Amino acid sequence: MTCKHDLDPAHCADCAPRPAADDWAEAFADAEDGRGVTITARFRGTCRACGRGWDPGDEITYSEEEDGWCHSACAGPERA
């Protein structure tokens, strides 16, 4: 089975299942600094904080402040 982009749905950035809003809230519940979970990127993407890209294998962190994924070093209020 493939998605509308002719990819495996689990590997499509647009069609993959998204966590429920409660899951994100839980991820931030213990994070006083606004940093969410850190994961290893599976796809190329763009950091919402610095605008530079990342490659698969890079560590990225969900930033509540940026409302999106950022390089782990860019996420959180301590960045310059």
pLDDT over 90 (residue 50): yes
pTM above 0.95, yes or no: no
pLDDT for 8-22, tens place per residue?
A: 776 666 666 665 555
Apex 18 CA angle, 12 and 23, nearest 5: 150
